[in-house]
Amino acid sequence: MNPRVHFDDLEECVSETTEIRTDGGEIDDRTQHITDDDIAHGTDGEAIQDINKVREALETFQRSAEETWSEHMYGIEQGHYWLVEETDDVIVLAANDALYKEYLSPTAHDTADYHYAVRSVMHSIARRLTDYNWGYSYPLVIAKPDDFESGRLFIEAVVNRYINEGLSPEQAWAYYGVEIRDNSPNQWAKRCGYSDHSAVSEAVRKAKKKLPRE
């Protein structure tokens, strides 16, 4: 049985690399990570006359994502979603068509127009944030919630998913720090208390050979 990694074991690294808002402040705009250009490009300008309604649909999606955060973090760990990118503000997940439709269904607008608009805008944002080849996958771009527990669940889900795919805890954590968080091996080694980068570099090399999507 593969060992599990828990947040407390990684606290020293996490405290310096993952920004999680804990001030309890309210977010006035749940879609502040989405620009008007994202909406225009995602809908070919067709929804611009209804941009407020499109944003309302996107806000509903974001609210639903926050309310069901733990379920979808479990989905990452189980391989239902694949982490493509993480920025200071958002995570970008890939999902298959069936899961994507199920995930977006809580937007629940009366017509299919806004459902389609949300899907299209997600692609627009994902193209801006990543160079991922989506193929038959669909992007879910979710702003990180305020609360600390959500961040904890996210990290545990991602790292444990790598372990489920055959990585050791060291390889999983090194891969997350270097390939996902875009630290150099030197930076990640320093943050994790290693004297040099060789252990991190070797762990990342082995991780890339084991992960089926690499």
Give tens-digit pLDDT for 56-106: 888 888 888 888 888 888 888 788 889 999 888 899 999 877 666 666 655
Reported pTM: 0.66
Which structure tokens are listed for 3? Answer: 């060992």
Model confidence at 46: pLDDT above 80: no
How high is the mean pLDDT of the chain?
79
17-21, 31-35, 210-214: least confidently modelled range? 17-21
| Number of domains making up the chain | 1
Query: Both tokens of residue 152?
Result: 């904890």
Torsion of CA 119, 122, 126, 129, to 10 degrees: 170
**Residues 160-192: pLDDT tens digits?**
999 999 999 999 999 999 999 999 999 999 988
Q: Is residue 103 part of a domain?
A: yes
36 has pLDDT over 90:
no
Tell me whether residue 47 is in a domain: yes
Whether 114 and 107 have beta carbons less than 8 Å apart is answered as yes
> d(Cα 156, Cα 148) in Å, to the nearest integer?
13
Domain span at 84: 28-146
Q: Is residue 94 part of a domain?
A: yes
Buried b (16+ CB within 10 A) or exposed e, 175-209: bbbbebbebebebbbbbbeeeebebbbebbebbee
| Confidence (pLDDT) at 145 | 85
The stretches of 18-111 forming alpha helices (DSSP H) are 36-42, 51-67, 69-77, 97-104
| Mean pLDDT of the 30-43 span | 82
